[in-house]
Amino acid sequence: MLARIGIAFTVAPSGIPEEHPALPPTEAITAVALAKARAVARRLPPGLPTPVLGADTEVVLDGTLMGKPRDGADAMRILRALRGRVHQVITAVALVEAGGGGREETAAVVTSVRMADYGDPEIEAYVATGEPLDKAGAYGVQGLGGRLVAGVDGCFTNVVGLPVETTRRLLDRWGLLPAEAQPGAPETP
C-alpha cells in the first residue's frame, strides 16, 4: 500500500510478539505498534535520522481483541463469533525516528465492519483455503474473506492493515512525502 502512494521503503520484521498489554483496545494496539517501530529503530546504526514505521491491526468484538487464529479450529471459532455482527478493526501506526533523533508519533484508526450472516459450510470452505490463518480476526477483506463482509463503515485500507490516508498525513507532518504522495494526491491503481 505504501508503494501505491509513492513511498519507498524496506521491510524489517520487528520480532515483537503481538501480545497486547491489559489496556483499552486502542491503547493496547498502539503500544504494540510503537514497540514494533522502536525495536527496528534500535537495530539501525546511529547517524542520520531514519524514520521507522510500525503498525498493528486488530479486530475488536465487544471490547475483546480477537487476535490471529492459532489454527483452523480457532479461525472457525473467530469467524462464528463475528458472523452477522458488527465489529471494529483498529490499526495503530507508529512513526519513530532512529539514529539519535528520538522523535515519535502515533495515530490510530477505527473502522466498523459488518459481517454477513454466512453459514458453517462457508466458514469451513474459507478456512480450508488457509487465508485466514495469518489475519487479525481470521479474515482478509482484500482477499477471499471479502465474501464474508457485508459492509465497511470507514477506512477500507484500515481493514486491510494500514490506514493509507492517516499514514500519509503522519509522514507528511514529518516532511517525508514526495510531491506525488502528498495528501490529496490520487493513489495509483
- The residues near 179 (Cβ < 8 Å, ≥ 6 apart) are 185
pTM of the model: 0.88
Domain ranges of the chain: 20-176
Work out the percent of the chain whose per-residue pLDDT is above 90.
68
Grid coordinates representing 102 are: 528520538
Mapped onto helix, strand or coil, the DSSP state of residue 47 is coil
At how many degrees (to 10) do helices 72-82 and 120-128 cross? 140
Q: Indicate which residues carry an active-site annotation.
A: 56
CATH code assigned to 20-176: 3.90.950.10
Q: Which helix (H) or strand (E) holds 166?
A: helix 164-173
pLDDT digits (tens, 9 = 90+) for 115-174: 999 999 999 999 999 999 999 999 999 999 999 999 999 999 999 989 999 999 999 998
- The residues near 30 (Cβ < 8 Å, ≥ 6 apart) are 56, 92, 94, 106, 108
CB-CB neighbours of 27 under 10 Å = 13
End-to-end CA separation in angstroms for the chain: 10
What is the pLDDT, as a whole number, of residue 7? 78
